[in-house]
Amino acid sequence: MLIVVNHIILMLADDMACNPRNPRPATVFNNANQHINVYGSDVEVDYRGDEVTVERLVRLLTGRLEPSTPPTKRLLTDDRSNVLIYMTGHGGDGFLKFQDAEEITSTELADAFEQMWQQRRYNNIFFMIDTCQAASMYEKFYSPNILAVASSQVGEDSLSHHLDSSLGVYVIDKYTYHALDFMEKLRKDSKKSMADFLRVCPRHQCVSTVGVRSDLFPRNPADVRVTEFFGSVRHVERTDRLVDLGDGDTETPVTVGTRVETAAPAPAGSYRYVAQFPVMS
C-alpha cells in the first residue's frame, strides 16, 4: 500500500530519528520487532520542529500560505481531491496538543474544514485521529463529505500497543498498530471497503472504543473502496473535449494535473548581470 511521497505532507514536531537518545540513529521503526523502518529514504518531512504549529496547519488546509511557500509544502487540492488527514499525539476533550505550547481545538479544525469546503479544496475528507478522547475532535465538524474515525471515545484513554525495551519508550498506539496491520495486507487493486476499515481494532484489541462519524458523509462506507483515500489510485474520467494547452507565449493559465501555474511573462528587452560587488567611489 503506497501513497506517492509528493502527495503526502508530513508534519513532524519531534525529530525522533536524530534524537541523541535513539540507539539506532536515523531510523524509526513501526514496532519493537524493527521490521519496517518508517524513516527510510522515501520519507520527506515537509514541516518539522518549530514549523509545526496550529497556524501552519490551518494555513496549509485553507491554502492561505505565504506566496514563497514551495509546492511541496502546499496542499494543492481541488474539488476532485480526496484528502486523508491523520493526526496523532497528546489529546484531550476537544483539543490536540501541538508542541508544548499550544493546541488545536475541535472548533478550529471544524472551521478550517468548512473553509476548505467553501474554497472547493476537497471532494471527500477522511479524518483519522489517534489520541486520548479522540472522538471529541470530530464532534464539531459541520461540513459535508467528511468521514471520521477516532481511536477512543470522550472520556477514554487511547493506549499504546507495546514497549520497546531497548528504547525505553512505548512505540506504537494500539489503534495505529491495527490500522497499519490492516493496510499492510492491502494491494492497489483491493476491493476492501471503508466499512471494513472502520471495523478495525474492536474493543478487545484496542481497549478503547473506536468512534466513527459518518453522518456528514453522503455515501455508504460499504460502497467506498479504501483505495479512494489510501494508495493514490486516481479516478480517471475520459473526455472528448479538446483542451487548449496554449503555445507558451500567452499569459493564459495552463492546466497541468491539478496544479495551476501562471506562465512567466515574456522578458521585455535584454538583461545583463550587475557587478557582483558595487564599486564605491
Partner 1 sequence: MGLLTSPTAGGSSKKFANILIKWEPVVSPLLYIAGIIWFLALAYHPYNAGTYFSENALLPGLVTNEFSDGSELARLLKALEAEAADHPDTVPHPWIRAQFRQLGLQVYPHNFTLRYPLGNGSVFHGENTYAVLRAPRSGSTEALVLSAPYRRPGAPHPPNHAAVAMLVALAKYFRRQVYWAKDIVFLVTEHEQLGVAAWLSAYHQQPVGHGLLDAGDLPGRAGSIQAAINLEVESATVSHVDVLVEGLNGQLPNLDLVKMAHWICHQEHIQHTTQGRADHPRPHSEAGYRHSLQTLLHMMASQAAGTPTGNHGHYLRSVAPVEGNHGHYLRYGIQAVTLRALDDRSMPGPRSGLSHLARVLEGMFRSLNNLLERFHQSFFFYLMPATGRYISIGLYMPPFALVAIGIVLRALTCWLRLPDTDDSEGRQQEAEGAESDGKKGGNACDRPSEPCVLPCVLAPHALGAVTLAGLVPLTQLLAAAGWPTERAVFAGLLTVSVGSLLLPAITSRRSALSESGRLLLRCVTLIELGLLVFTAALFNISLALIVTTLYTPVALSARYYSSAPARLLASLCLLLVHPFTLQLAAVALGAPALAWRAVLAADQRALAVALVDSLVYGARLLDVACTVLLPLWLQMWTLVHCG
Catalytically active residues, by annotation: 90, 132
Whole-number Å distance between alpha carbons of 149 and 211: 6
Q: For residue 27, what is its C-alpha cell?
A: 531510523
Choose the binding region for partner 1 from 15-23, 144-152, 225-233, 260-268 (rule: CB under 8 A).
15-23
Which string of x and - marks every residue 157-196 that binds partner 1 (by CB under 8 A)?
------x-xxxxxx--------------------------
Q: Of the ranges 21-29, 59-67, 153-161, 263-271, which one interacts with partner 1 (CB under 8 A)?
A: 21-29
Q: Are strands 47-48 and 11-12 parallel, antiparallel or unpaired?
A: parallel
Is residue 23 part of the contact set for partner 1 (CB under 8 A)? yes
Name the strand (E) or helix (H) holding 196.
helix 194-198
Shortest separation between residue 15's beta carbon and partner 1, angstroms: 11
Minimum separation from the CB atom of position 63 to partner 1 (A)? 34
Residues 99-138 that bind partner 1 (CB under 8 A): none
d(CA 175, CA 134): 11
Residue 22 or residue 190: which is nearer to partner 1 going by CB?
22
Using a 10 angstrom Cβ sphere, with 0-12 exposed, 13-18 middle and 19 or more buried, the burial of residue 122 is buried
Helix, coil or strand: residue 199: coil
The residue (of 22 and 232) whose beta carbon lies closer to partner 1 is 22
From 17-25, 74-82, 131-139, 250-258, span contacting partner 1 (CB under 8 A):
17-25
> What's the per-residue H, E or C state across 102-125?
EEEEHHHHHHHHHHHHHCCCCCEE
What is the helix (H) or strand (E) element at residue 182, kind and residue range? helix 174-184
Number of H helices and E strands in the chain, helices first, is 5, 13
CB of 163 to partner 1, least distance (A): 6
Output 10 or 18, the one with its CB closest to partner 1. 18
Total binding residues toward partner 1, as defined by CB under 8 A: 14
Find the binding residues for partner 1 in span 24-43 (CB under 8 A): 25
What is the smallest separation between the CB atom of 117 and partner 1, expressed in angstroms? Answer: 38
* Shortest spacing between CB 2 and partner 1, in angstroms: 31
Q: What is the sign, positive or negative, of the torsion defined by CA atoms of 213, 216, 217, 220?
A: positive
HEC assignment per residue over 133-144: CHHHHCCCCCCC
Q: Distance (Å, rounded) from C-alpha 252 to C-alpha 106?
A: 40
Piece of the chain touching partner 1 by CB under 8 A; list 12-20, 107-115, 146-154, 195-203: 12-20
Binding stretches for partner 1 (CB under 8 A):
18-23, 25, 163, 165-170
